[in-house]
Amino acid sequence: MKDISKHKPKRYRDWNYWSKPLPSFGDPNARVLIVGLAPAAQGGNRTGRMFTGDRSGEWLFNALYQFGFANQPNSLRRNDGFKLHDVYITATIRCAPPKNKPLPEEIENCRPYFLKELDLLKNIKVIVPLGQIAFAQTLKSLKSKGFDIPSLSFGHGRIYL
């Protein structure tokens, strides 16, 4: 993770990278939980907030804004006034993995934080895992909490009730 900040693209050479585990953020009373994979090397790892300052965040935050879950359509910096309403964002991994390919031990090291969040977020009704790893880790975590989860297979755009 620290190596990423040593090899900055020119457009970010003046940034002081966050380069440490990222906290989750959003409305602690949220009914919607969005679970990502990990901070992007030049996004959240740089800015200090999940999905902030990267292309996936541009798309996600604009969609959340259009549906009334965010107060502005984009977020480029951690302290830019961006607020979520009824949504909480987390990730299965808190640090930017090399080449965006996390090792199994990285996933397991961060899992206790996700489990604790599931305990603290009392109003969650909908979970939106973004990607196969987030999907698998969400199911594994819910099962470990005693939820009766049927065997589900990952697929983009699938909806499970």
Domains and CATH numbers, the chain: 2-7+23-144 (3.40.470.10)
Eight-state DSSP code of residue 145:
T
Please give the Cα distance from 51 to 88 (Å, whole number): 12
Q: Per mean pLDDT, which of 22-26, 97-101, 148-152 is the most reliable?
A: 22-26
Task: Report pLDDT digits (tens) over 56-77.
Answer: 999 999 999 999 999 999 999 8
Report helix, strand or coil for 1. coil
**What pLDDT sits at residue 6?**
58
Q: Where are the beta strands (DSSP E) in 78-122?
A: 87-91
Single pTM value for the model: 0.89
Lowest mean pLDDT among 14-18, 20-24, 145-149: 14-18
Average pLDDT, rounded, for the chain: 90
49 vs 16, which has greater pLDDT?
49
Residue 49 reports pLDDT greater than 80: yes
Q: Residue 140: phi, psi to the nearest 5?
A: -60, -45
| Token pair of 34 as six digits | 């969005």
**What pLDDT sits at residue 1?**
47
Question: Which secondary structure element, helix H or strand E, spans residue 25, and what is its range?
Answer: strand 25-26
